Amino acid sequence: MIIKFIMLQMAAVPARPPRRLLGRLGLITALASALGLGACATQMPAPSQADATRIAMEWPGTTVETLARGRTAYLDHCTACHAAYTPDAHPAAVWRKIVAEMAPRSRLDHRTSEDVVRYLIASARR
C-alpha cells in the first residue's frame, strides 16, 4: 500500500523539472510580449517617406533607405543587453543623448550610430 503510494508520487514528479520551468518562463515571456510589455521587430515602426522628408531638413540626403538601415542596426545591435525600446519611449532630443551613450557599448561605428539616431529621431515622440 505504502509502496504503491510512493510509486504514484514518483510518477507524478516531472522527469525534467528544469525544462518545465524553462517552458513556463518561455510562456510568461510570450504572454508578456503579447501584452505589449516587450518590444519586438514587428512593433518597431517602419520608416516612411514622410519621415525621411522631415529628417532630411536636418540631415540633407537622408532617404527611407538610410532610416531603414538605422532600424535594422538598432534591432541588430541595441538588443544585446535589453529589449528594444520603441522610438516613442523618448523625445527626439533625448534619443541623441542616449545613443551617444549606448553606441560605444554596442561598438557601433560612427556611421551606423548616425543611422540609428536618425531612425529613432524620425520615429520618436515629438
Residues that bind ligand HEC (CB under 6 A): 77-78, 80-82, 85, 98-99, 102-103, 105-106, 108, 116
Nearer to ligand HEC, 44 or 116 (CB): 116
CB of 50 to ligand HEC, least distance (A): 23
20/45 Cα distance (integer angstroms): 35
Q: Which is closer to ligand HEC, CB of 66 or CB of 106? A: 106
Helix ranges (H only) for the chain are 2-12, 17-34, 49-56, 64-77, 92-106, 110-123
What is the smallest separation between the CB atom of 40 and ligand HEC, expressed in angstroms? Answer: 15
| Residue number, 16 or 126, with CB nearest to ligand HEC | 126
User: Can you tell me the distance from the alpha carbon of 55 to that of 92, in angstroms, rounded to the nearest whole number?
Assistant: 11
Cβ at position 27, least distance to ligand HEC in Å: 26
Residue 30's Cα: distance from chain center in Å? 14
Minimum CB separation of residue 123 from ligand HEC in Å reads 12
Judge residue 75's burial from the number of C-beta atoms within 10 Å of its C-beta, 0-12 exposed, 13-18 middle, 19 or more buried: middle
Nearer of residues 20 and 125 to ligand HEC, judged by Cβ: 125
Say if CB 122 and CB 52 are below 8 A apart: yes
